[in-house]
Amino acid sequence: MTTRVGFIGLGAMGLPMASNCQRKGFALTVYDIDPAKMDQVTALGAKKAANVAEASRGQDIVITVLPATQHVEAVVLGDDGVLANIDPSAALVELSTIDAKATDRVAAACQAKGIAFADAPIGRLSIHAERGESLFMVGSDDDTFARIEPVLRAMGTDIFRCGGPGMGSRMKVINNFMLLSTAQIVAESLALGTKLGLDIQTMHDVTGATTARNGQFHVLMVNKALKGDLAPGFTIDLAFKDLTLAINAAAENRVGLPVGSAVHAVFGAARAGEYASKDYSALLNYACDGAKVETPRMG
């Protein structure tokens, strides 16, 4: 029997992942507040739901991919949300990047109703999601993981078990803290190198051949900002939200993040203006603006 999947949230990551689920043969019902995004998946054969409740009922698995903690709590825990309508035998898979304590609240609410739950935040970029090459950081028990693994495999190539419910969210906070901090260092380095008269290809090739090599320069920047493409795969606004999760977690656990706090402040300043809705690779443009140099281009 074909697995029935309700998919809620068709943003930069959710849309390509839902599309891959449909292409891989799952019986998909989708919902998003933007009808045009639903149309892109229904054109592949998925069903369109009128609301969250309709997307949740009659499914074997319900997946949510939403921007922030408040959206997840409203959609999942709201009066006419997922848990008010999901079948008792179904599993909820939460893919959003949110406060781990909110993940714990959702997990507890699922447990109280006897609903299987997994948090499986997404790694990698929207270009990977389009190719079905996402990475998932999974927090779940073994039985739930066995149930949801096939649908995760339809959307990605790498799955890491991080522990029980809630541990996927905790791993995602650390992952994004690291990559976003690295992205800012890359942006500053390239702005400085450009100011010093270095060619961008030279900087790319030399750092790529040393231990300075990193995904933020050699994957993200070369595919986005260095091509002049600032269309959002992951906005600076959302990146600031993710850094805030790390800063808050550190404060709650008495851990100092001096470098991370400085990076958080840069993202906060960048989101105050035109860069808020740009891809986070636009950190390069922001750094070059400050250095009074033209943003370099490759390709």
Strands 116-119 and 122-123: unpaired
Dihedrals phi, psi of 181, to nearest 5 degrees: -65, -40
The token duo for 232 is: 């959002």
The token duo for 158 is: 């790498």
Give the Cα separation of 283 and 225 in Å (integer).
8
Tell me if 292 sits within 8 A of 231, measured CB to CB: no
Extract the runs of DSSP E, i.e. beta strands, from 9-119: 27-31, 47-48, 61-64, 91-94, 116-119
Instruction: Tell me which amino acid residue 123 is.
Output: G
Helix (H, G, I), strand (E, B) or coil at 270: helix
Question: Which CB contacts under 8 angstroms, 24+ apart, belong to 198-204?
Answer: 200/226, 200/296, 200/297, 200/298, 201/298, 204/298
The token duo for 101 is: 């304590």
Dihedrals phi, psi of 93, to nearest 5 degrees: -120, 115
Tally of helices (H runs) and strands (E runs) in the chain: 15, 9
Active centre residues (catalytic): 172
Strands 134-139 and 122-123: antiparallel
